[in-house]
Structure 1
Amino acid sequence: MSERDEAPTTREQESAGPPPAPTTPEPGDTPSDPPAPRSRWRRQYSPEEIEAAKQQWRDMRPWDSPMARADKVLIGCMVGAFVLAMATLPLRPFLLASHPTALAAVTGSSSAVGAGAAFARIGQADLWLLILAGIVGKIKFDWLYWWAGRRWGAKGVKFFVPTDRAARFVERVRSWPMWAMFLVVVVAALPGIPSVLAYLLAGLAGLSLGAFLAASVVGAGIMTGLVAGLGYALGQSAVDVVLVIDRYALWISLSIALFIAISAGRAQSKRQKRQAAAQEG
């Protein structure tokens, strides 16, 4: 390139003046970081929405804030009962043929009572002990829901049974006589009856613990006696079925565990899809 071509460029640079000096931050200034990229699946909630969610949780929970010791004990016992039920579920096929009486005492399952009665028919179990174990197994955690109804009242019923029918029952049972609540608890042991709602309402209505336990024993005794009578009548036929279940107990337990895992995975997937749809909306 010639000097004639470079001259205009030099004159333009001189007329433009010196290049601007780099700016230095003042003593009180702090450099600001670039904003973090906003995730597609993350939504920024406003303080009003966060407070509304907190208020919704406060309205839903049945206990006051902070939780009293009795509330913590009650919730802890319920969580322990749920964990015990889930932990023994895969073991039931193994214990059905070998220890039906113990299984009836731990789980209160009608299948264990029927199997134990069938073994009692052929002289391999004690029928009276089996019925006693079945009654204990059926009523062992009923008092927790009675206590929840007594302690938390209508909010406890709404927490465990959030339906309109349950809310309507709350207003009605307050005027019921105690003998009617006693019969409700007895009938709750039969299949197809919402027993949890009955126990909550019994506590809410003021049925005493002694009367509640007596009603639970009567109801569980009726149900256990019916199932045990059926198993005792079938005898060897029922025993053969139980032995077949025991033969394939491993596969049955694996199927139960697989079913639980698949159900939990599907429920989690549905919750994530609902949350993603709500955030996109």
Structure 2
Amino acid sequence: MSIVDGTSNSLAAAGAIPRATSPWRRFVPWQGRATRLDMALMGAILGVVALGLVLRPLKPFLLASHPVMLEFLTGDLTAIGAAAAFARIGEAPVWLVVVAGAAGMVKLDWLTWWTGRQWGLGIVRMFTTSERALRFAGRATELRPWTLRAAVVLAVLPGVPTAVVYAMAGLAGMRLATFLILDFAGALVMTGLVAGLGYGLGQQAVDVVLIIDRYAAVVSLTMIAIAVLIPAIKRLIRRR
């Protein structure tokens, strides 16, 4: 990824954003020779991505049979709503649905915090090319503590660049314990809202989930096909 012109270039010139020294450098967040810690952290991130890809086609199967386990594994809002709907008909306690969902949402966020602590704005360049996000991240250490804490809590909201906010927390020197508490608080609120909606729908939501389960194989194959076809279609359009 290349750094956008304007403000981002001035930040890079000042040393705030590391510049790539060779073509492949833009694909890694560190400067110079990679350390064992760099490689281990990057391996963990790639492992998280791989886990998400593996779980994606399994979601339709687990949604109806093990929704609480699915919400913990993925932190997926759909799974949280489905688990809450099953709780409404007595299949699981509501508190477990909320706690498992919140834990599922935050369980690996400490890795993103760590990338900010380890690589600073180098990882932010990989997460986004937005000039506004880069400029905001460049001022992470200048923000008031309460501003950054509020950003971590609100990072679960739709439209917020969650990974950038979490990396900023690490970059700014926020303690891991503080980050985890704030992160879990935000996830708990979001999980509570989604679980409340699923619990309110009750049997109606369960019926929908059971229909999905009945056609789980078709849904999974469709998801895989879409994942394969979209990049192919984009390449075809670019060639034309």
> With structure 2 as the length reference, what TM-score do the two structures score?
0.86
- The correspondence for 1:261, drawn from 198, 221, 228, is 228
- The correspondence for 2:147, drawn from 163, 180, 186, is 180
Contact 2:137 2:164 in 1 (8 A): no
Contact 2:156 2:187 in 1 (8 A): yes
Partner of 1:206: 173
**In the alignment, does 2:208 pair up with 1:241?**
yes
Alignment of 1:93-172 (within 5 A): 93-172=60-139
How far does residue 54 in structure 1 lie from its aligned partner after superposition? Answer: 6.7
Distance in 2, matches of 1:171 and 1:81, equals 26
Distance in 2, matches of 1:145 and 1:124, equals 34
Distance in 1, matches of 2:119 and 2:217, equals 42
How far does residue 80 in structure 1 lie from its aligned partner after superposition? Answer: 0.5
Alignment of 1:8-157 (within 5 A): 55-58=22-25, 61-157=28-124
Q: Structure 1: where are the runs of 5+ without partners?
A: 1-52, 275-281
How many residues end up aligned between the 2 structures? 221
Query: SS state of the match for residue 66, structure 1?
Result: coil
How far does residue 150 in structure 1 lie from its aligned partner after superposition? Answer: 1.0
Distance in 2, matches of 1:58 and 1:190, equals 32
Distance in 2, matches of 1:117 and 1:61, equals 40
Q: Structure 2: where are the runs of 5+ without partners?
A: 1-19
Identity among equivalent positions (%) equals 47
Distance in 1, matches of 2:134 and 2:90, equals 50
**In the alignment, does 2:183 pair up with 1:190?**
no
Distance in 1, matches of 2:91 and 2:29, equals 48
Query: SS state of the match for residue 139, structure 2?
Result: helix
Contact 2:82 2:206 in 1 (8 A): yes
Distance in 2, matches of 1:64 and 1:171, equals 17
Could you give the per-residue CA deviations for residues 138-184 of structure 1, whole angstroms, max 9, x where no partner exists? Answer: 01221111111111112221122122112211232221122221110
> With structure 1 as the length reference, what TM-score do the two structures score?
0.74
Could you give the per-residue CA deviations for residues 185-220 of structure 1, whole angstroms, max 9, x where no partner exists? Answer: 000011221111111111111111111111110010
Q: Tell me: higher relative CO, structure 1 or 2? Use CA pairs within 8 A at least 6 residues apart.
A: 2
Contact 2:68 2:100 in 1 (8 A): yes
Partner of 2:13: none
RMSD, matched Cα = 1.8
How far does residue 103 in structure 1 lie from its aligned partner after superposition? Answer: 0.2
Higher alpha-carbon deviation: 217-226 or 261-270 = 261-270
Residues 76 and 112 of structure 1, relative CA distance in 2, 3 Å threshold: same
- Between Structure 1 and Structure 2, whose CA radius of gyration is higher? 1
Residues 122 and 76 of structure 1, relative CA distance in 2, 3 Å threshold: same
Distance in 1, matches of 2:108 and 2:57, equals 20
- The correspondence for 1:232, drawn from 186, 194, 199, is 199
How far does residue 69 in structure 1 lie from its aligned partner after superposition? Answer: 1.1
Distance in 2, matches of 1:112 and 1:59, equals 36
Could you give the per-residue CA deviations for residues 113-143 of structure 1, whole angstroms, max 9, x where no partner exists? Answer: 1111111111111211111111111012211
